[in-house]
Amino acid sequence: MTLARAVAAGAAALALGLSACSAGTPDPARTTPEEQPMAFGHVHGLGINPADNRLFVASHMGVFRQTSNGFERVANRWQDTMAFTVTGNDTFLASGHPDLRETDKPIHLGLIESTDAAETWKGLSLQGEADFHALEPAMDRLYGYDSNNGVLKITRDKQRWADIARVAVTDLAVNPDNPDDLLVTDSRGELLRLSETQELGAVSGAPPLAFIDWPRPDLLVGVAPDGTVHRSSDAGRSWQRLAPVGSSPEALDVTPTVWHVATEEGVVASTDDGRTWAPVPGQPGQS
């Protein structure tokens, strides 16, 4: 298979996986824990809670937290949690679709927030309207991709939103030193940068990328649709190829000490800046 065909195939597989989780709520048969084994399902987001350094996994089957004995579903809630983002101690932002037992909530949760490590959630804005598949906080603003309407949006108060562009976004990342420097990956695996005129343009020389994270100005990490990991230390102008994660990615989270990638085969971690990867222990389905 040629490189072009391999990239296209990986992007197509990624798009199919994302679309499969975009419209629905959890399967009613899976809302009873006693009837189904615990499983992540499709992973939508990863993050380390700075309050306790635990890894949280947000998925089609709920939010899971890492414990000394493996992972547990938080609050026995089967909420399809998308665009999961850690913003502080026990404080998360997200979107998605409710547990089907929560009949008082709209099918599209809009922007929601938890201040108790996913035990409970409250709606902040666009309930019943927006289905965010990506959220990226940046100092005094928050970027979000509303897949329900196919629009990249921005807010400064988590209440009133303005449209930026109509684009099929996969992931977002912002320069920690400059909240105006927004990078976007689209459904074709292309890396785009938001200009001062609020227009998106391709980043020259960037590899195909699905998910991106930018925890430090000199640490920009991306994962290609085929699982190849890349790193840039100059804000995306040049890239270094690192060890692959082995299968198609579903989510990425990078901190200065540990990197996590959720793949179709499970969550893997690297503690040596992407040189090697190993499965996170205690995952559902592991022997």
202-254 pLDDT, tens digit each: 999 999 999 999 999 999 999 999 999 999 999 999 999 999 999 999 999 99
Q: What strands, in cross-sheet order, belong to the sheet with 122-125?
A: 80-88, 91-97, 111-114, 122-125
pLDDT digits (tens, 9 = 90+) for 104-155: 999 999 999 999 999 999 999 999 999 999 999 999 999 999 999 999 999 9
pLDDT surpassing 80 at residue 24: no
pLDDT surpassing 50 at residue 198: yes
Give residue 284's pLDDT. 87
Task: Please name the fold of domain 3-26+40-273.
Answer: Neuraminidase (2.120.10)
Q: For the chain, give every domain's residue range.
A: 3-26+40-273
pLDDT surpassing 70 at residue 168: yes
Average pLDDT across the chain, whole number: 89
Query: CA–CA separation, 12 vs 120, rounded Å?
Result: 35
Query: CA–CA separation, 41 vs 57, rounded Å?
Result: 10
pLDDT digits (tens, 9 = 90+) for 72-118: 999 999 999 999 999 999 999 999 999 999 999 999 999 999 999 99
